[in-house]
Structure 1
Amino acid sequence: MLLGFEAVAPSRDDLISSLVPPQNFADADFDSYHPDKRYPSQQQAKETLIDFVRQHRMDEPSRWRRRQRSRLERPIGWYLDGGFGVGKTHLLAATFTAWRGPKYYVSFSGLTSLVGALSFGGALDLLQGATLLAIDEFELDDPGDTVLISRLAGELVETGTNLVVTSNTLPSRLGEGRFAAEDFLREIQGLADAFRVITIEGGDFRRRAFELNHQRGESVPLGDGAVRTPLASLLRELGQIHPVRYRGVVSQLVGVEIYDASQIVSQVDALRFCSLVDVLYDFGVPVRIRGVNLAELFPSSFLAGGFRHKYGRCLSRLVELEMTSGSTEWNYESGTGAT
């Protein structure tokens, strides 16, 4: 196996220990989020979440006050709505970092994997008691998973868990990189009343930084331990294993060079590749693709179809992985990072 995907599936303990921000955002906080002054909603979103955390800390010392609060009102759920590369995941991780008390951070796919490994009841037992659950990329394009995780989140809300999430939008309602908040609220049905929407406007900072680096002639330092593989071989390998095994392998990589790349014409292969890129992004693994322009990696029909959001997110993340990794402080105005 080219990337070592013969590794065993993650254990229960592995899944539990992964309920923290990914390596790429392990050090993200509010101080390292520098909003683009051209889009005031970025500063407003940051201030709203800071106030949200501060209010929780004010309630924290008194157990009596917490009991009274749980009786009088439902915990708050914040939905971060915005296009690619405006800092939603950064703000989600920053909220998690600043939060005091029991808390969990998980991607939507990670949450479904947790339910698969522990059962619905087992996952609920594990997560109950947390005062915060941060969910990145809440998926709406799989009705079964959407209902399952909505039910799980609803159970947690009723027992005192606050929610902060980002999400995609429905395949039939995709716009120009936007995640329609009304779609999210409609699809989660009974849970929607717990949410308030924070709209975050702006351009994709990853693409701006990518363009700046290319103007300077900068490239990704992959290092001696980088894995090099032709795209066709990688896609065959991805077809033989379950995406739940990606994290254990990717966490050991220092870089990936994909050569002899051409357009991915199979939608099944393309979606598996997107899942791999999500994990590479979580761990901040530098990626270099040779043989095809990123803009042509997926057919135009894919980019305009039902999974358009997944492909857009994949391309946005790939342009960041093509840059030098290791930055944890992002300026969303200039699109540059500072170590």
Structure 2
Amino acid sequence: MKVGIPGGLLYYRYGRLWNSFLHALGAEVVESGETTRSILNSGVSKAENESCLPVKVFYGHVLALKEKVDALFVPRLVSVKRRTHTCPKMLGLPDMAKAAVGDAVPVISPTIDFQSGLWHNYRAVYSLGRIFTSDPRRIIAAGVTAWREHRLYLERLTLGLDHRGALRGEADRLLCEGRDLRIGVIGHHYNVYDTFTTMSLLERLGSMGVDVMTADMVPEKLRERELKRLPKDIYWSYEQEVAGAILACSRYRLVDGIIFMISFPCGPDSIVRVLCEQENRLMGGVPMLTLVMDEHTGEGGFLTRIEAFVDMLWRRKRREAEELEAVAV
């Protein structure tokens, strides 16, 4: 059976896990590849106008697989952490995929919900495995292998590899190599690692002589510590990761500046943006630039803001160095 995995949204976090699991069960896995202009255009034409940019991109990836596979694999992630939920659009991804392809291709959509306990998720994974094999030992072995591959992928991200480098297990260079200027590029995986929608931001910053720190590279203990300081819990699973990373980068001066990547019109990101900007200002934190992306974002204006922000950070760093020199003298 040919099973298609759309290369958008949660693919940037769990794609390696899904691919390894399905492949170990004997499925022929077909991925839609990286985002292109044609994929984005087809997604924009199919999705609702009110959908955020990543959802429109996801539609495009689904349509790119429609004629190539026997089934689509689109899990429904309700919660990946206790007392939290994913974005409402994540909950509805299988339904969106079904609406996009109609009856042409069945959609395999196991429900993962950590609010319901581990046993619920074990049963969901086992039921998924039964689609491909009746051997429970093979399902368990596939799960163990996939989880190992997933952990390895995440570890590579924490070490400074980008998405493509983490998938291959090698990279031409690390995002963080000890340069004089370091910028935190913080956002959801699909807002940071999609080279098309971000116009290769990570690579461009590297070519400017800038080190990049992503949310994956911020120690989890620091992220959790910052979340506990907030007066109220953040209920969205992935927004917690983003907010914790921004606040940790600011409080502990892990970076010289922060670029917060969000997509229009994401509701949870908009709320977290205001929260992080206020907290960053109160603690006298580092300069912060918010980049809002949609399908109309032009490369010229996008790059101008990046270059101006980098120039400002260089001037600020030189001024601080001169002030320290004056004090030392």
Higher helix share: 2
Give TM-score, length-normalised by structure 1.
0.32
Report the structure number with the largest CA radius of gyration: 2
Give TM-score, length-normalised by structure 2.
0.32
